[in-house]
Amino acid sequence: MMNRPHIHLLDLPDELLLTILKKLSNTYVLYSFLDIGNNRLDTLLRDQTLTNNIDLTSINDTTILNQALFCVLPRIHHNVRDLTFESSLISRVFHAGSYPKLTHLKIKDSSITAYPSVLLSNLPSNIFSSSTLTELCIYVPTFNDCLCLLDGRLNQLNSFTVRICDVDAPSSINHNQNNLLRLKYFSLTCYNDTYTYDNRVIPLLHRMPNLEQLLLCLTIRNHNGLIDGTHLQNEILIYMPLLNNFACDIRTRNLNNGSLPTLSNDDIQQTLSNIRYGPMMGSIRYFSTNSYLCHIFTLPFAFDRLQCLTNNFPNAIFDRVCYLSIQDELPFEHEFFIRLSHAFPSLKHLIVMNRTAQQNNNQSYSLIEFKNLNYLSVAAADISYLEQFLLDTRTYLPSLAELHVEYTNLKTVTEDFTKDATRFNCTKIKKLYTGVNLMHLNDYFPLLSN
């Protein structure tokens, strides 16, 4: 071969060629070489090691994605065991093949706030069914869709990760209530408030006696009492004797009707001390609106999103969290944001909800850096928080690309878009939501696209 300067790809032996192809992204390899008319290459590309794991979310080019759906998947669907795609493609993906060997399915969504339209509650049980699928990761609009997936149509399922938009949506369907004896792993996430926790979530968890791993992320409203360690032990964990891994992020938001004694953070923490699945932290915050927020979570924090954080948050590192909302009626002072920047090193998306102005007007602020923050909403916050983030003497935001804010507040803080001290943190903004068209301010927002 040393005497052959012009060696082509197909001059290589099958073993070496296959080794090279395995090092590349299989979706791009299949798109580029499948059906080019070379029988040898076509046969190699059908090798199961190249076709058993397909991740369509790795394709950024629309043309390549369309080719993968129309040409590639129909040719290899019988080999696919692990399939990942965005929810908007669900119809096209399942029209491309029947996937008889599929065992692992992940249906994702590209937006951190959007939910897909994977409506299953009105479909017959033979639709979206499989006798081979063992792992499913999916976002669904309602709890009823979750129950449909557990009605027996996926009878080999042992790992189920589901994110639900609405737990409370009513249903006239009588779902199968048999125990889910094969299920070993269950993860349930709902970021919207849940009012039917006791008669929907709890009964579902009681159907999982063989569960080994459980993850719960919920915000519960109007529950009779708060969700603390005692509740977890008596209502959930005691029903799962094989459980060896538990993670949670649970908030209870209730009106304080006088039936609950005034509790401290130490009281909440004490109820968590006997949970045997690792360290847990808890806190309780009382508001002037005669309501309270109780928050309990496991460490290390297992989720990428955290909601309704108050001034009263415990000392912990939330290195996985990229989406955070903070809310309180006591002011968030500069020192709070210093803590926040250290506790959330991966933060990308921040919503601030606080109508109480900052009180500390200390001029010798230490500079805070949120190096990954690209989305900021202060539309539901006092003007002082916009000043907190835009003044380059207080906060450094090198990645800020999207800002939601009231126009009058923005105009005031930037001194009618002339102030140099707020200019740097505005230079990277590409999307600005104020209700007013600001495209003419190219000097102050040079990258503005809306």
Backbone angles phi, psi at 156, to 5 degrees: -105, 5
The reply to whether omega before 300 is within 30° of 0 (cis) is yes
So what's the pLDDT on residue 67?
A: 79
pLDDT tens-digit map of 119-150: 565 555 556 778 899 999 988 889 998 998 99
The pLDDT > 70 percentage for the chain reads: 83
Tokens 């993968």 — which residue?
Answer: 68
Tokens 């029903």 — which residue?
Answer: 239
| Long-range CB contacts (within 8 A, 24+) of 57-65 | 57/84, 57/85, 57/86, 57/108, 57/110, 58/25, 58/27, 59/27, 59/28, 64/27, 64/28, 64/31
So what's the pLDDT on residue 118?
A: 57
Q: Which range is most confident: 69-78, 289-298, 369-378?
A: 369-378
In terms of pLDDT, which residue wins out, 192 or 443? Answer: 192
Tokens 């102050």 — which residue?
Answer: 444
Average pLDDT for residues 98-125, to the nearest whole number? 68
Query: Which 3 state secondary structure label does DSSP give 45?
Result: helix
Average pLDDT for residues 357-379, to the nearest whole number? 90
**pLDDT beyond 80 at 79:** yes
How far, in Å, CA of 147 to CA of 149, rounded?
5
Sheet of 82-86: strand order equals 53-55, 82-86, 104-108, 135-142, 159-166, 185-194, 213-221, 245-255, 291-298, 280-287
User: What string of DSSP letters covers 239-290?
Assistant: G-TT--EEEEEEEEEEE--SSS----HHHHHHHHTT--SS-EEEEEEEETTT
Q: Which residues contact 201 (CB under 8 A, 6 or more apart)?
A: 167, 188, 194, 218
**pLDDT beyond 60 at 20:** no
Q: Could you tell me the sign of the dihedral formed by the alpha carbons of 130, 88, 304, 206, in that order?
A: negative
**pLDDT beyond 60 at 24:** no
For residue 7, name the pLDDT band (cuts at 50, 70, 90): low
Strand residue runs (E) in 310-444: 323-327, 349-354, 368-369, 375-381, 395-396, 402-404, 431-433
Backbone angles phi, psi at 379, to 5 degrees: -65, -25
Q: Which range is most confident: 53-67, 247-261, 282-296?
A: 282-296
How far, in Å, CA of 298 to CA of 229, rounded?
11
DSSP H/E element including 339: helix 334-343
How far, in Å, CA of 87 to CA of 413, rounded?
41
pLDDT tens-digit map of 253-280: 987 776 677 889 999 999 999 898 989 9
So what's the pLDDT on residue 59?
A: 78
> 365: exposed, middle or buried (C-beta count within 10 Å: 0-12, 13-18, 19+)?
middle
So what's the pLDDT on residue 176?
A: 78
The pLDDT > 90 percentage for the chain reads: 53
**pLDDT beyond 60 at 32:** no
How far, in Å, CA of 115 to CA of 239, rounded?
31
Strand residue runs (E) in 348-427: 349-354, 368-369, 375-381, 395-396, 402-404
pLDDT tens-digit map of 190-245: 999 999 999 999 999 999 999 999 999 999 998 888 899 999 999 999 999 999 99
DSSP 8-state assignment for residue 426? G
So what's the pLDDT on residue 65?
A: 82
Strand residue runs (E) in 348-423: 349-354, 368-369, 375-381, 395-396, 402-404
Cα angle 302, 308, 313; round to 5 = 70
> 27: exposed, middle or buried (C-beta count within 10 Å: 0-12, 13-18, 19+)?
buried
Average pLDDT for residues 415-434, to the nearest whole number? 93
Q: What is the mean pLDDT of the chain?
A: 85
**pLDDT beyond 90 at 369:** yes
Q: What is the chain's Cα-based Rg?
A: 26
